[in-house]
């Protein structure tokens, strides 16, 4: 029988999960399944057919043929990373804002002066779909080289219907051709449009934009599966966030939203109330909010690069893990936090949030996949899942976190095909 790929002789084949777990929380978040001297087989559909020791796989597939063989001697194989919170489609350089922050300006100072999200919104309105697509593909190429194979991608730099749809169309079209798979998240409630109010923006999103989105989804013009709101003081209130998220739920969009970042607004309590799939940031989450998030559970997508750059306090990752809230990690790549590297994110999470390396790996793979509704197909190296993985030129897998800048990733494989090689 013919197969697409055989990987053999891996010093460590890091499965992450080996019992079909769709996520890990609590004590289980530090359990990482590993096969020493491992091998895996990929079928012709790009899915994992089998994993085991090299000896077991050679015996089981003695009569098989393979289109390609990778000898991973003295190397490690890890699942492709899942970046579960990004803003990757935008135009307009905001490097000048970094200088202002270094001089003491806060996020809200820049926002009130017409910078921040508003600056990017103006540039995205002017940009063509073609320009935005080329910018997006270049960013995804860089993510791929750093081991990322699945990305949650938000709109959010349009605010009004036409530009939001333009951004969602770009994500939809690029997803057809780029090796990285994209999960679109509709974020018209990212900020309040210039000259409008939060009340008017909420009404527009609920009564005008979301009904139009439903038609475009049914026509296969756009493909969001998630809905997001920036639930924050001076942006969207708890009641407005609830109204928007429930309107999205009514057309089949899961809630995956920003909350409790700059002020303790009780967004986590709302997440528990409505059974949200995930909430991101959590820097100002309360003990009651953590308890509420543990119910469904709602995934806590933590963004250590953002806290680092904005000089915020870090979210209480240890407290959340101990409360059985499944923790995921993401880059929050955007013009305000220009980071495409999940290995760097994982290192920051270990150093500044107290995660173990095992917890960080789980957070950047299976839990990140689950936080965007994709852990049945992605996030671990188990039979039946897509063969998304990378080859690490190191004797133990932990080097992917330890070598935080020049990570020794030498090959990235997407659905059984080599997507990038050093």
Tokens of 222: 């756009």
What pLDDT is attached to residue 110?
A: 84
CA-closest candidate to residue 329, choices 402, 295, 278, 263: 278
The C-alpha torsion from 39 through 329 and 118 to 129, rounded to 10°, is: 20
Buried b (16+ CB within 10 A) or exposed e, 35-44: bebbbbbbbe
What pLDDT is attached to residue 98?
A: 86
Q: What one-character-per-residue DSSP string does 288-330 give?
A: HHHHHHTTTTPEEEE-HHHHHHHTPPPP-HHHHHHTTPPEEE-
Is 140 buried (19+), middle (13-18) or exposed (0-12) by CB count in 10 A? buried
Q: What is the pLDDT along the chain (422 residues), one digit of tens a residue?
A: 999 999 999 999 999 999 999 999 999 999 999 999 999 999 999 999 999 999 999 999 999 999 999 999 999 999 999 999 999 999 998 888 888 888 888 878 887 877 888 899 999 999 999 999 999 999 999 999 999 999 999 999 999 999 999 999 999 999 999 999 999 999 999 999 999 999 999 999 999 999 999 999 999 999 999 999 999 999 999 999 999 999 999 999 999 999 999 999 999 999 999 999 999 999 999 999 999 999 999 999 999 999 999 899 999 999 999 999 999 999 999 998 999 999 999 999 999 999 999 999 999 999 999 999 999 999 999 999 999 999 999 999 999 999 988 899 999 999 999 999 99
What pLDDT is attached to residue 155?
A: 98
| Alpha carbon distance 212, 220 (integer Å) | 13
What pLDDT is attached to residue 404?
A: 83
The shares of helix, strand and coil residues in the chain, as percent rounded to the nearest 5, are 40, 25, 35
| Alpha carbon distance 277, 154 (integer Å) | 15
pTM score over 0.85 = yes
What pLDDT is attached to residue 115?
A: 80
| Alpha carbon distance 356, 398 (integer Å) | 10
């Amino acid at each position: 029988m013919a197969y697409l790929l055989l990987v053999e002789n891996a010093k460590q084949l890091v499965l992450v999960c080996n019992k079909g777990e769709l996520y890990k929380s609590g004590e289980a978040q530090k359990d990482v399944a590993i096969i020493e001297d491992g091998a895996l087989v990929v079928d012709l559909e790009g899915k994992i057919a089998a994993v085991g020791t090299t000896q077991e796989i050679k015996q089981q597939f003695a009569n098989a043929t393979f289109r390609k063989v990778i000898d991973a001697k003295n190397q490690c194989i890890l699942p492709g990373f899942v970046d579960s919170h990004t803003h990757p489609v935008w135009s307009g350089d905001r490097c000048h804002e970094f200088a202002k922050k270094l001089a003491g300006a806060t996020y809200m100072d820049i926002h009130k002066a017409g910078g921040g999200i508003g600056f990017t919104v103006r540039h995205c309105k002017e940009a063509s779909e073609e320009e935005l697509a080329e910018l997006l593909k270049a960013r995804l190429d860089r993510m791929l080289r750093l081991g990322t194979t699945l990305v949650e991608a938000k709109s959010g730099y349009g605010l009004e219907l036409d530009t939001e749809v333009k951004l969602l169309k770009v994500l939809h079209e690029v997803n057809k051709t780029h090796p990285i798979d994209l999960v679109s998240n509709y974020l018209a409630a990212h900020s309040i449009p210039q000259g409008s109010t939060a009340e008017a923006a909420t009404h527009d999103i609920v009564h005008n934009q979301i009904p139009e989105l439903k038609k475009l989804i049914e026509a296969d013009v756009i493909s969001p599966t998630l809905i997001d709101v920036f639930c924050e003081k001076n942006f969207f209130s708890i009641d407005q966030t609830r109204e928007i998220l429930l309107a999205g739920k009514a057309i089949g969009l899961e809630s995956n939203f920003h909350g409790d970042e700059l002020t303790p607004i009780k967004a986590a309590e709302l997440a528990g109330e409505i059974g949200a799939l995930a909430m991101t940031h959590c820097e100002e989450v309360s003990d009651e909010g953590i308890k509420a998030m543990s119910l469904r559970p709602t995934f806590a997508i933590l963004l250590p690069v953002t806290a680092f750059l904005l000089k915020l306090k870090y979210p209480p990752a240890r407290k959340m893990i101990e409360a059985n809230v499944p923790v995921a990690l993401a880059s929050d790549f955007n013009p305000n936090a220009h980071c495409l590297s999940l290995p760097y994110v994982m290192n920051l999470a270990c150093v500044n949030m107290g995660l173990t390396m095992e917890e960080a790996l789980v957070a950047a793979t299976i839990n990140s996949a689950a936080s965007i509704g994709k852990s049945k197909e992605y996030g671990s190296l188990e039979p039946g899942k897509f063969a998304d993985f990378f080859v690490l030129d190191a004797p133990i897998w932990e080097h992917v976190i330890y070598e935080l800048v020049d990570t020794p990733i030498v090959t990235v494989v997407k659905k059984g095909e080599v997507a990038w090689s050093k």
